[in-house]
Amino acid sequence: MTSRAPRSPSTARKGGWARLSTVVVYAFLAGFAVLTLFPFLWMVLTSFQTPGDTFRIPPSLTPSLLFSAHPFANFAELFQRFSFGRYLLNSVFVSTVAAAGQLVTCSLAGFAFARMRFPGRGLLFGALVFTMFVPTEVTIIPEFLLMAKLNWLDTYLPLIVPSLMVGAFGTFLLTETFRSVPYGLEEAATIDGASPLRIYWHLFMPVARPALVSLFVIAFIDNWNELLRAVLYISSNDLKTAPLGLVSLQGQYQSEWTLLMAGSLLSILPMIVVYLLAQKYIVQGFVTSGIK
Amino acid sequence: MRYRRITPYLFIGPMIVGLLVFRLIPIVASLAASFTRWNVFTAPTWVGLANYRAMLGSPDFWQILRNTGVFALLYVPGTMGLGLALALLVNRELRGVTALRGVFFMPYITSVVAVAIVWRWIFATQYGVLNYLLTRVFGMAQGPSWLGDAHYALLALAIVYVWQSSGFQMLLFLAGLQNLDLSLEEAARCDGATRWQVFRHITLPLLSPMTFFILIVSLINSSKTFQVTYALTGGGPQNASTTLAYAIYQNAFVFFRMGYASALAYALLVVVGAITLANFGLRRRWVYHDEPRAS
């Protein structure tokens, strides 16, 4: 399937082969699409079933609750018995603040790295790129002790601050994006007496919009998915994030698949909303950044 | 461009503070901690290289290192191969191709934990849908206990991780493909090259800088397995699916062996660092550079 060049170069020769190959491509794509979507369908289906439905062979394909008096019984139970609404709000809050903060810190740093010359620039940029290669697990023990010293355990802060301040990937992405802006504009603005902050805000930020949107989505997803820090730093039920809430639910109810699937479905909905809102910018953001 | 001397430091200030406090200092502190015996509750005592000696002498460590390697060997080619194949297939003018790109990217924009739990349900030995398909539709005598059998646990983790991330790889490859200069490919086609020749000798070399970037990202991602492992297997059965990242967590925060865990953290850093450096070293061999040559 990799034996075909992307974008058929010649549209003139549309013979039987071209039509056949289109059919083959569609068949592969459809197959992959089914594999990709199946777990989601299964999750949705199970979250509208009763526990009894999940212990059948062959597996039951009817969302039986939809035909009952309480179609959303599993979701209702999550909200009433397990404060799942609270978990979701916590995750939305933490991920939004951390991702929005990253846009500020990464774009400021990216602007300086891309457009200013200063002593230590190479070294600092090198250190930043180096930390991209260092998994969080390597630094988590000192980080934990630092959080304990700062009295930040069991607060939102350890979930927000480290991620907000060090967006290595984001800085890298925005540095590359800002580098591709033509110099002429900046020269003109400086001659007109604009301050660096104005140039950054009025000239560079608008140009980088697709990259900024992509970065927000990626940072939002990364923060939403942060489980290690949540496991270590959060102990009160009120502060649990959605993934932490889900794993605690799984710890208590190993095989209550109907509840677990309803919870899983709830915890991916906010991310899908964010993605759909930003979708049209995402590929564009990577293309214009010129990362090759 | 001229700015005042202090200006650049004001712009990078917040990031540099964070970089120092949350990344660089902890990297050094981890190294110091790896030379101590330390259970958090009492003060650390200096033990020199004892943790490293214990680590290298422990069969568990070698198994965990092997698990980490096997996982990377399953995950990296799997996710990159699938990502490239999907990118090539959706990089064409077909009806509905935008929707398909959205579908393939979908697993990446979902919660890893949620996805892991769904897969645990799919993998369930007795009532899981995967084993149902294997036994009833494909006629296997008995479906494996995916998460409870030491032979399958790592494979199961890799399947979930590949499924979850190949859409992201597709997107990166797609961005690379769309940046390519198509005139070379068209010229080669006009000169009678087959599609395979064009792909092998023009598209792949032109794409190689992006492929290199994706390879580095995937290798690093393959060491970040905490979430999936925590939600799916907890490292079991025994140590069969424990990778280095998970072993660091277990030793530090379950067994409270901070010193030993720090030594494991450094083992992880050395492994990731060595592989990354090796890749940068090999880069010249296969990554194409479009730099103007002095003539």
pLDDT tens-digit profile of A261-290? Answer: 999 999 999 988 888 888 777 766 665 555
User: Do residue A286 and residue B119 have CB atoms under 8 angstroms apart?
Assistant: no
Residue B33 touches partner A, C-beta closer than 8 Å: yes
What is the pLDDT at residue A1?
Answer: 37
Q: Rounded mean pLDDT of chain B?
A: 89
Q: Distance between CA atoms of B88 and A5, rounded to whole angstroms?
A: 7
Please tell me the distance in Å from A57's CA to the nearest CA on chain B. 7
Looking at residues B128-141, what average pLDDT do you find? 84
What is the pLDDT at residue A101?
Answer: 96
What is the pLDDT at residue A15?
Answer: 64
The position carrying tokens 């579908």 is: B103
What is the pLDDT at residue B111?
Answer: 86
Q: Is the pLDDT of residue B289 over 90?
A: no
Looking at residues B36-44, what average pLDDT do you find? 86
Query: For the segment A50-89, what is each residue's pLDDT rounded down to a tens digit?
Result: 888 888 777 878 888 888 888 888 999 999 988 899 999 9
Q: Using an 8 Å CB-CB cutoff, list chain A residues near B22.
A: 139, 143, 146, 161-162, 165-166
Task: Identify the burial level of A188 via C-beta atoms within 10 angstroms of its C-beta, where 0-12 means exposed, 13-18 middle and 19 or more buried.
Answer: exposed
- Name, of A285-289, B50-54, B143-147, B178-182, the range with top average pLDDT: B50-54
Sign of CA dihedral A278, A279, A281, A285: positive
User: Do residue A287 and residue B226 have CB atoms under 8 angstroms apart?
Assistant: no
Cβ–Cβ < 8 Å for B178, A287: yes
Query: For the segment A112-140, what is each residue's pLDDT rounded down to a tens digit?
Result: 999 888 999 999 999 998 888 888 889 99
Per-residue tokens: A288: 């214009």
User: Do residue A268 and residue B114 have CB atoms under 8 angstroms apart?
Assistant: yes
For residue A3, count other CB atoms closer than 10 A to its CB. 11
Please tell me the distance in Å from A108's CA to the nearest CA on chain B. 5
Looking at residues A92-104, what average pLDDT do you find? 96
Name every residue whose Cβ is closer than 8 Å to that of residue A248 and which is 6 or more positions away in sequence: A240
Q: Using an 8 Å CB-CB cutoff, list chain B residues near A128.
A: 15, 19
What is the pLDDT at residue A62?
Answer: 80
Cβ–Cβ < 8 Å for A44, A232: no
Residue, of A255 and A288, whose pLDDT is higher = A255
What is the pLDDT at residue A94?
Answer: 97
Q: Distance between CA atoms of B122 and B104, rounded to whole angstroms?
A: 19
pLDDT band at residue B236 under the 50/70/90 scheme: confident
User: Do residue B22 and residue A143 have CB atoms under 8 angstroms apart?
Assistant: yes
Please tell me the distance in Å from B194's CA to the nearest CA on chain A. 9
What is the pLDDT at residue B153?
Answer: 93
Looking at residues A247-260, what average pLDDT do you find? 89
What is the pLDDT at residue B99?
Answer: 84
Per-residue tokens: B120: 């645990």
Please tell me the distance in Å from A12's CA to the nearest CA on chain B. 12
The position carrying tokens 């010293």 is: A149
Q: Which residues pair with B36 in a beta bridge?
A: B46
pLDDT band at residue A3 under the 50/70/90 scheme: very low
What is the pLDDT at residue B278?
Answer: 92
- Name, of A64-68, A158-162, A213-217, the range with top average pLDDT: A158-162
What is the pLDDT at residue B29?
Answer: 94
Q: Using an 8 Å CB-CB cutoff, list chain A residues near B90.
A: 29
In chain A, which residue's Cα lies nearest the Cα of B266? A138
Helix axes A84-115, A209-224, angle to 10 degrees: 140
Q: Tell me which residue in A4, A58, A141 faces B262 most closely, judged by beta carbons.
A: A141
Q: Tell me which residue in B7, B178, B220 faces A133 most closely, judged by beta carbons.
A: B220
Q: Tell me which residue in B19, B177, B224 faces A166 most closely, judged by beta carbons.
A: B19
Q: Distance between CA atoms of B263 and B53, rounded to whole angstroms?
A: 10
Q: Using an 8 Å CB-CB cutoff, list chain A residues near B262.
A: 141
Looking at residues B74-87, what average pLDDT do you find? 95
In chain B, which residue's Cα lies nearest the Cα of A220? B109
Range in A246-260, B174-188, B210-224 with the lowest mean pLDDT? B174-188
Q: Distance between CA atoms of B252 and B249, rounded to whole angstroms?
A: 5
What is the pLDDT at residue A289?
Answer: 56
Cite the DSSP H helix spans in chain A: 16-47, 73-82, 84-115, 121-132, 136-149, 157-165, 168-179, 183-191, 196-198, 205-207, 209-224, 228-233, 242-252, 257-289
User: Do residue A196 and residue B7 have CB atoms under 8 angstroms apart?
Assistant: yes
- Percentage of chain A beyond pLDDT 90 is 49
Q: Is the pLDDT of residue A99 over 70?
A: yes
Per-residue tokens: B277: 């450096």
Q: How far is CA A239 from CA A94, A133, A232, B199, in A?
A: 10, 30, 12, 52
Q: Using an 8 Å CB-CB cutoff, list chain A residues near B269.
A: 134-135, 138
Q: Is the pLDDT of residue B167 over 60?
A: yes
What is the pLDDT at residue B82?
Answer: 94
Per-residue tokens: A154: 């069991």
Looking at residues B82-111, what average pLDDT do you find? 87
Q: Chain centroid to CA A218: how far?
A: 4
The conformation of residue B58, written as its DSSP 8-state character, comes to -
Q: Is the pLDDT of residue B24 over 90?
A: yes
What is the pLDDT at residue A89?
Answer: 96
User: Do residue B15 and residue A127 have CB atoms under 8 angstroms apart?
Assistant: no
Classify domain A77-289 by CATH number.
1.10.3720.10
Query: For the segment B187-222, what is each residue's pLDDT rounded down to a tens digit?
Result: 888 888 888 888 888 888 889 888 998 998 899 889
Mutate to test the interface with B, among A138, A157, A249 (most CBs of B within 10 A): A138
- Identify the CA nearest to B27 among candidates A128, A249, A36: A128
Q: Using an 8 Å CB-CB cutoff, list chain B residues near A252.
A: none
What is the pLDDT at residue B96?
Answer: 82
Looking at residues B226-248, what average pLDDT do you find? 90
What is the pLDDT at residue A47?
Answer: 92
Is domain B45-286 classified as CATH 3.90.1150.10?
no
Which of residues 163 through 192 in chain B touch A, CB cutoff 8 A? Answer: 163, 167, 171-172, 174-179, 182, 185-186, 189
